[in-house]
Amino acid sequence: MALLITNQGQSICLAFFLVFILAFCSSQASCSRQLYGEDKIMLQRFEEWMAQNGRVYKDAQEKELRYNIFKSNVEFIEAFNKNKDQRKYTLSINKLADRTNEEPRAMGNGYNVRQHLSKEATTSNSVKVSPNTFFR
């Protein structure tokens, strides 16, 4: 009877150990996927861009989301610039490269410039000046 309990206990421990190992391996596979070739270069470009623009993300999920957006935007920019003979301008990577097209639009929406501009501006010596005045 004692032998049966010991074997049962070992089986349960072994089962828990295997489940733990499988869970650990699957989490490692999804978190740190192997990057090869162009993906590795793109990730390096993303890391450099993050450093240049002071970007820090709250967690690995947001960083992966922003990386995928960055990658998509860079691929669009490079494809667009390949046909530069047809255009007089090119695109480049800027501080919004990790944003979707909708995000910058949403940041600007709702701001009413006219509401924030006064009819008259006051100079330092309290002389009222019309906004249409041109200074040289």
Amino acid at 30: S
75 membership: H or E segment, kind and range: helix 60-82
Structure tokens belonging to residue 128: 């009222």
pLDDT in tens, 76-111: 999 999 987 888 889 999 999 999 988 877 776 655
Domain that holds residue 43: 37-104
116 Cα distance to chain centroid: 31
pLDDT interval class at 1 (50, 70, 90): very low
Q: What is the pLDDT of residue 31?
A: 45
CA separation for the pair 113, 111 (Å, rounded) = 6
- Residue 135 maps to a domain: no
- Residue 83 maps to a domain: yes
Amino acid at 38: E
Q: Which of 69, 70, 35, 76 is nearest to 49 (CA)?
A: 70
Overall domain count for the chain = 1
Residue linked to tokens 């996927």: 33
What's the CATH code of the domain at 65? Answer: 1.10.287.2250
